Amino acid sequence: MVTRYFGEPIKRNEDPRLLTGRGTFVDDIRPPGLLHAALLRSPFAHARILSIRTEKARSLPGVVAVYTHADLPPVLQEPLPKLIPHPALVHHKTQYALAPDKVRHVGEPVAIVIAESRYIAEDALDLIEVDYDPLPPVVDLEQAIQPGAPLVHEDIGTNVCAHYTQRVGNVEEAFAKAAHVFTERFVIDRGTAAPMECRGVVAQWEPKMRQLTVWDSTQAPIPIRNGLARLFGLPQANVRVIAPDIGGGFGPKIMMFYPEEVLVPFAAMQLQRPVKWIEDRLENFVAMNQEREQIHEAAIAVDGEGCILGVKTVFLYDAGAYIPYGLIVPIVASTTLPGPYKIPNYHCEFRAVFTNKTIVSPYRGAGRPHGVFVMERLMDRVARELNLDRAEVRRRNFIQPDEFPYDVGLIYQDNAPLIYDSGNYPACLDKALEMIGYDRWPSERERYRREGRYVGLGLACYVEGSGIGPYEGCRVTVEPSGKVYAATSVGTQGQGHFTSFAQIIADILSVPVEDVTITTGDSGAFGWGTGTFASRAAVVAGNAVALAAQAVREKALRVAATLLEARVEDLELRDGRVYVRGVPGRSLSLGEIAVAANPLRGTIPEEWEQPGLEATRYFAPPRGTFASGVHAAILEVDIHTGMIQILKYVVVHDCGRVINPMILDGQIRGGVAQGIGGAFYEKLVYDETGQLLTRTFMDYLIPTAMEIPEVEIAHVETPSPLNPLGVKGAGEAGVIPVPAVFASAIDDALAEFGVRITEMPLSPNRLLEIIQVARGRGGGVSP
């Protein structure tokens, strides 16, 4: 089989549609008779609800219904489902569709209004009278674990909902014997994914057939379908959940459920009219899940040569007011921290803590940025303290290319052992150093200093767990027209599945890539799967696509063999036709074979599995596959204003075999942009009453084309032995090491002041403070 498309930067199939405004995002769905919903959200971070009066709202012309918790059926009054339980998660508290008697974060839904327009629905919100009894909130993560702190959930008597430790070896012994031990405290603050499209749900109920159709801006339509069917007592076949075009997901668009995902279908079923709810940006900032807040007390023990003897971190993870998504983020942080290094002794301990802030669930990186930040800062520290070259220290500790598979000794987020399958960390580092000009750097740096400029070089290495199970599936069908249709249930939020999956199929079935149409994210088209998250779609769904296409190919050859009276070994598939080798006149198109495989009379052989030129296959990886890479950057600091400028940014990435390099590079660049945002621009600021002060795009600063530099990308390919395509995930790679690279470069730029960055995100103000404090300690310089 000659590959023509796999590995090529094929232009995307979906672009003509999206470029001409013909995308179908959830707000573009407009069934006739549509009603519009708006939610009343708590203005308090912590309060009891004493009463809610809705009469004025109900009587506003154009308002069709108003629901509070008391108006919901019992099944919707219960806390929403627990996802991903864990033995260490002893208090798995989850959110409500509408708050029953207490609100626990600003933005928690209290009532829903259904009206003829969103304008009127919002007018009605103004008329709902809620009597709140405000309670003292707990906002600060470290205060939340103090005795006497206000309790987010009174009935459990604590704000700590989980305490989990993973260990390898004996870290106490290692530290006791070590030549050097360095400790550090790291603080990373909250951020939000802020996709350009906010969330949204449209629901339509057909009462006679009892069929519920839901369009949802979700990354996981199948779990939503399954959950709604169960909740409303409907057969799964009667519930169809469609994730249409989605304007960015990045993690927080996976939940089961956001309140609106059950309230909107409920309203549609009650009112027997379709209902739409589109989240506005003010809502998104408080109601869409956030992430990133962790505080680490970490330490590293090394010998005289800088070789790691042990690493320890004890950290606090801010879960927000509820913890539906379980311990994924802190477990991922814990298991990403070791990175590409051999760490014989490791202790990673965390407490998950409730606070009166928005719920936390994974956002691109999902804890990996934290693990990398801690480890890479510690490595830079070792280098500086021992006066070793930063790259050399890393090299000395790398897992070597011939040491795979490498068992780190931990359990990963998929409950499987953390075993790195393949990689070549030295090659990635060397390539990054070459691209950034590492050898020239000392003299470059000197040159800048002589010009009065403070410029630094940063670098960071990472290993990214990806491609975890449980499974994904795909059905590939060749129609009589010869065109190919495939369906899988993972959703697409811009990753180009419509093209990358088509490339895989086009190669295997030897058809033009434009003739392959992919359907994703529609439970009516394919009903088994989990969703798009954890950099897994290309790996898990992609391999299912390949297996199904391969099965179709083999069947095509078998059927053709019968029809052409030849042996399968004598056949070849080329340009959509099956030929008898050496007999050009004897051939059949795939379309003709498809017709023959679905006869109107006679019988079909048992070995066919099913009629038609179609196959459904699943891929269930036993464990994840590990991508890796290195980022390096050159960055300038204006020491008088704290402003920074990125002069050069390079990425070396290894995600195994690459399906579409153009799409891959796009993923990396987008991730780097979010990483830069999280390093210097984006910070969610809560005041001491739990109010979110950064609640619009005026205050939460998404970087623009003026702040994001060009990113040079090179690839290293160590194929994964764990799946037939040899691919690894890449969706989160861009964002993971960026805070670490930033800190590393700033430290280097300001080395003469002894600056050591241990917090993220920074800002010009904060950086100026850090510089002034450091200079005040004695590192003086003329203005």
Of residues 743, 557, 511, 727, the one with CA closest to residue 644: 743
Judged by CB, which is closer to another protein: 443, or 696? 696
Sheet with 160-168, strands from edge to edge, namely 160-168, 346-354, 308-320, 294-302, 180-188, 759-760
Greatest alpha-carbon pair distance for the chain in Å reads 93
Judged by CB, which is closer to another protein: 181, or 282? 282
307 near another protein (CB under 8 A): no
Which of 367, 456, 491, 496 is in the footprint of another protein by CB under 8 A? Answer: 496
774 near another protein (CB under 8 A): no
Judged by CB, which is closer to another protein: 22, or 163? 22
What are 629's strand-pairing partners?
A: 462, 653
Which of 386, 702, 714, 751 is in the footprint of another protein by CB under 8 A? Answer: 702
Measured from the CB of residue 605, what is the shortest distance to another protein in angstroms?
Answer: 42
Residue in the block written with tokens 């589109």? 278
> Using CB under 8 A, which residues numbered 179 to 218 contact another protein?
193-198
**Token pair of 137 as six digits:** 């909130």
Cα separation values, 147 from 27, 47, 80, 139, 150, Å? 47, 20, 29, 14, 9
Binding piece for another protein, criterion CB under 8 A, among 4-12, 102-110, 506-514, 548-556? 4-12
The end-to-end CA distance of the chain, in Å, is 66
Which of 32, 157, 235, 783 is in the footprint of another protein by CB under 8 A? Answer: 783
Residue in the block written with tokens 């075993």? 419
Provide the H-helix boundaries in 157-220: 171-177
Alpha-carbon dihedral 130, 136, 139, 145, rounded to 10 degrees: -140
Judged by CB, which is closer to another protein: 153, or 766? 766
- Residue ranges with strand state E in 336-431: 346-354, 406-411, 417-420
Determine the Cα–Cα distance for residues 599 and 216; give it in Å rounded to an integer.
Answer: 39
> Using CB under 8 A, which residues numbered 517 to 546 contact another protein?
none
DSSP-derived pairing of the beta strands 583-589 and 406-411: unpaired
Judged by CB, which is closer to another protein: 209, or 698? 698
Judged by CB, which is closer to another protein: 61, or 602? 61
Q: Count CA atoms closer than 13 A to 80's CA, side-chain side.
A: 22
Judged by CB, which is closer to another protein: 198, or 352? 198
Judged by CB, which is closer to another protein: 11, or 163? 11
Contact pattern from residue 120 through residue 159 relative to another protein, giving x for each residue in contact according to CB under 8 A and a dash for the rest: --xx--x---------------------------------
> Using CB under 8 A, which residues numbered 5 to 44 contact another protein?
9, 11-12, 14-23, 25, 27-28, 30
Judged by CB, which is closer to another protein: 388, or 662? 662
DSSP-derived pairing of the beta strands 239-242 and 211-216: parallel
Sign of the torsion angle spanned by Cα atoms 30, 31, 36, 37: negative
Of residues 43, 50, 51, the one with CA closest to residue 105: 43
Residue in the block written with tokens 């590995």? 7
Of residues 655, 653, 669, 675, the one with CA closest to residue 737: 675
Binding piece for another protein, criterion CB under 8 A, among 490-498, 542-550, 611-619, 628-636? 490-498
Measured from the CB of residue 155, what is the shortest distance to another protein in angstroms?
Answer: 35
What are 67's strand-pairing partners?
A: 112
Which of 100, 703, 719, 779 is in the footprint of another protein by CB under 8 A? Answer: 703
> Using CB under 8 A, which residues numbered 261 to 280 contact another protein?
278, 280
623 near another protein (CB under 8 A): no
What are the φ and ψ backbone dihedral angles of 611, each rounded to 5 degrees? -70, 170
Overall residue count recorded for the chain in this entry? 783
Measured from the CB of residue 199, what is the shortest distance to another protein in angstroms?
Answer: 13
**Token pair of 103 as six digits:** 């609100």
Residue in the block written with tokens 């626990």? 104
Give the interface size with another protein as a residue count (CB under 8 A).
Answer: 82
Judged by CB, which is closer to another protein: 166, or 499? 499
779 near another protein (CB under 8 A): no
710 near another protein (CB under 8 A): yes
Judged by CB, which is closer to another protein: 118, or 153? 118
Contact pattern from residue 240 through residue 259 relative to another protein, giving x for each residue in contact according to CB under 8 A and a dash for the rest: -----xxxx-x---------
764 near another protein (CB under 8 A): yes
Determine the Cα–Cα distance for residues 45 and 137; give it in Å rounded to an integer.
Answer: 6
What are 65's strand-pairing partners?
A: 114
Measured from the CB of residue 46, what is the shortest distance to another protein in angstroms?
Answer: 21
What are the φ and ψ backbone dihedral angles of 562, each rounded to 5 degrees? -65, -50
What are 288's strand-pairing partners?
A: none
> Using CB under 8 A, which residues numbered 649 to 668 contact another protein?
662-663, 665-668
Measured from the CB of residue 248, what is the shortest distance to another protein in angstroms?
Answer: 5
583 near another protein (CB under 8 A): no
Measured from the CB of residue 377, what is the shortest distance to another protein in angstroms?
Answer: 24
DSSP conformation letters of 336-378: HTTTTB--SSEEEEEEEEE-SS--B---TTTTHHHHHHHHHHH
**Token pair of 727 as six digits:** 């691919």
Measured from the CB of residue 9, what is the shortest distance to another protein in angstroms?
Answer: 8
Judged by CB, which is closer to another protein: 514, or 575? 514
Measured from the CB of residue 29, what is the shortest distance to another protein in angstroms?
Answer: 9
DSSP conformation letters of 464-503: EEE---S-EEEEEEE-TTS-EEEEE----SSS-HHHHHHH
Q: Say whether 587 sits in a helix, a strand or coil.
A: strand
Judged by CB, which is closer to another protein: 22, or 777? 22
Of residues 186, 637, 233, the one with CA closest to residue 374: 186
**Token pair of 644 as six digits:** 């920074």
640 near another protein (CB under 8 A): yes
Which of 282, 386, 551, 647 is in the footprint of another protein by CB under 8 A? Answer: 282
447 near another protein (CB under 8 A): no
Contact pattern from residue 719 through residue 758 relative to another protein, giving x for each residue in contact according to CB under 8 A and a dash for the rest: ---------------x------------------------
Binding piece for another protein, criterion CB under 8 A, among 54-62, 170-178, 600-608, 704-712? 704-712
Which of 54, 289, 489, 495 is in the footprint of another protein by CB under 8 A? Answer: 495
Measured from the CB of residue 353, what is the shortest distance to another protein in angstroms?
Answer: 24
- Residue ranges with strand state E in 125-242: 129-134, 160-168, 180-188, 200-206, 211-216, 239-242
Judged by CB, which is closer to another protein: 160, or 662? 662
Measured from the CB of residue 286, what is the shortest distance to another protein in angstroms?
Answer: 13
Judged by CB, which is closer to another protein: 39, or 212? 39
CB atoms within 10 A of CB 91: 18
Q: Say whether 441 sits in a helix, a strand or coil.
A: helix
DSSP-derived pairing of the beta strands 109-115 and 35-41: antiparallel
Which of 613, 711, 741, 749 is in the footprint of another protein by CB under 8 A? Answer: 711
Judged by CB, which is closer to another protein: 330, or 496? 496
DSSP letter assigned to residue 606: G
> Using CB under 8 A, which residues numbered 362 to 421 contact another protein?
none
What are 614's strand-pairing partners?
A: 477
Which of 90, 237, 583, 693 is in the footprint of another protein by CB under 8 A? Answer: 693
Sign of the torsion angle spanned by Cα atoms 26, 31, 36, 37: negative
Measured from the CB of residue 222, what is the shortest distance to another protein in angstroms?
Answer: 20
Q: CB under 8 Å to 240, separation ≥6 — which residues?
A: 211, 212, 213, 214, 225, 522, 523, 524
> Using CB under 8 A, which residues numbered 86 to 125 contact another protein?
118-119, 122-123
Q: Say whether 99 sits in a helix, a strand or coil.
A: coil
Which of 52, 115, 321, 708 is in the footprint of another protein by CB under 8 A? Answer: 708
